[in-house]
Structure 1
């Protein structure tokens, strides 16, 4: 049963985009997939989402063209994971602006910290979502690293079509 009406044919572009992106899980899944975390179990564990909800969201995101299935090797078996498409990669400015908005308008909880978004093209932190505030280059996922002190991590984002597999060459 749908939670709302179908907005896919609306004249308003914001309403049409919310038809695809309006569920908060969608942007969180895109965030994780841009980090190279596109294996089902990895997404379920990191997002703390039920298998049923994740399955429905992934199916809808495949149909909407935000994700594509990619093969990876797990021991001797070939499995399928999910990678961002160009449409999902185009959401990078939205995700980064959401992070910037949150840091400007919401209190950072205990144990949290500022998330730096580093553009590898110039090596500087940007305070804009779509264009580097330091060098004015357009930002693309594969040139971005998100520094998350609360996790002790520096996560390099991935180009569309990329899935990181632990233990594989090139995976981090």
Structure 2
């Protein structure tokens, strides 16, 4: 995965994330996994993806630790692809991307919506700060250099004041 990232972007979390999921089919395969699909033929039929492309994408998802390949049949050997904890942690990203796409459509033109499983009511996801509950998608939140930032990264964010990282503050005490 790291070989796909430009050297100067290796510390950027966005570049790292795109190294895992930046390919068109990858997000669609993961979306199918969240919908309960786990078998090669299910992905192939639902996505209308070529066998060779699907094989490559599944192999990459397994190598990157997003899916686990498990045998479900022995004669002949057949495998299913199950989300790992790392893979499951991408669900909010997929939900947010789908919501972003739907926000650009007239409600009557949406072919898939997010609903509360218990009530069936459509919901609109938002990204919030865990500590304060405030939405983080506005101008009040900006990126800043983190504790492991290189000099170029610190220079990039020199005008942004960030509170010391908890572990960095503890190391100073």
Q: What SS does structure 1 have at the residue aligned with 2:115?
A: strand
Shift of 1:130: 6.3
CA contact (8 A) 2:102 2:110 kept: no
CA distances 1:119-171 after superposition (whole Å, capped 9, x unpaired)? 3467653210668xxxx9xxxxxxxxxxxxxxxxxxxxxxxxxxxxxxxxxxx
Corresponding residue of 2:114: 117
- For structure 1, the residue ranges without an aligned partner over 5 or more in a row are 137-172
Higher RCO (C-alpha 8 Å, min separation 6): 1
Higher alpha-carbon Rg: 2
Aligned counterparts of 2:29 and 2:57: Cα–Cα separation in 1: 9
- Contact kept? 1:71, 1:80, Cα under 8 Å: yes
Q: Looking at secondary structure, tell me which structure has more helix per residue.
A: 2
Detail structure 1 runs of 4+ shifted over 3 Å in the superposition: 106-109, 119-125
- TM-score, reference length from structure 1: 0.61
Q: Equivalent residue for 1:7?
A: 5
> Which has the larger displacement, 44-53 or 98-107?
98-107
Provide, for residues 81-127 of structure 1, a one-character-per-residue CA deviation record: whole Å limited to 9, x for no partner: 11111111111111111111111114579xx5353323346765321
Partner of residue 102, structure 2:
103
Asked if the contact 1:8–1:19 (Cα under 8 Å) also holds between the matched residues in 2, the reply is no
Unaligned runs of 5+ in 2: 134-173
* Distance (Å, rounded) in 1 between the aligned partners of 2:103 and 2:92: 16
Contact 1:96–1:129 (CA under 8 A) maintained in structure 2: no
The answer to which structure has the higher strand fraction is 1
Going from structure 1 to structure 2, the CA distance change for 1:130 and 1:88 (only over 3 Å counts) comes to farther
